[in-house]
Amino acid sequence: MPSQKEETTELSDEQLRILRDHGTERAGTSPLNDEKREGCYFCAGCGEAVFSSEAKYDSGSGWPSFFQALEKAVDLSEDTRFGMYRVEVHCACCRGHLGHLFPDGPRPTGQRYCINGLALNFVPSDSPEK
């Protein structure tokens, strides 16, 4: 039998809207905004690690924000929807839409990955599920 990744994640309609249809959750609604524990953030669509808590910071934007993604974990593309030019952040593995990248982040990168909390699953370092 070929090994197959078990489909354990049940995605809500809202999560599907974000990941597949470039949706955006309402600002300030994600419990991950206040998440300050050490750990890893995984793509809700495929379970690949995409951000580390080490790169998370409080941007005050209302969305979980990171100044850096894990290496090769995300891909960027141009997004010109709604007549705006933005840089879109996708999961490199499943191509799911995670959020947008803005050039107004803190040091050392100066970048702000503005990510939908619903597109992420957080697993704290001290979790037995690690």
Residues of the shown chain interacting with Zn ion in the complex, contacts defined by CB under 5 A: 43, 45-46, 91, 93-94, 96
Query: Which distant-in-sequence residues (6+ apart) come within 8 Å of 26 by Cβ?
Result: 62
Active site residue 43: no
Query: Which distant-in-sequence residues (6+ apart) come within 8 Å of 113 by Cβ?
Result: 51, 55, 65, 66, 67, 68, 69, 74, 89, 98, 99, 100, 101, 105
Q: What is the DSSP letter of 26?
A: P
Rounded alpha-carbon distances, angstroms, from residue 120 to 43, 76, 91, 104, 116 = 5, 17, 10, 22, 7
Name which of 43 and 55 has its Cβ closer to Zn ion.
43
Q: How far is the CB of 104 from Zn ion (least distance, A)?
A: 25
Q: How far is the CB of 67 from Zn ion (least distance, A)?
A: 20
Name which of 70 and 93 has its Cβ closer to Zn ion.
93
Name which of 51 and 63 has its Cβ closer to Zn ion.
51
Q: How far is the CB of 46 from Zn ion (least distance, A)?
A: 3
Active centre residues (catalytic): 114
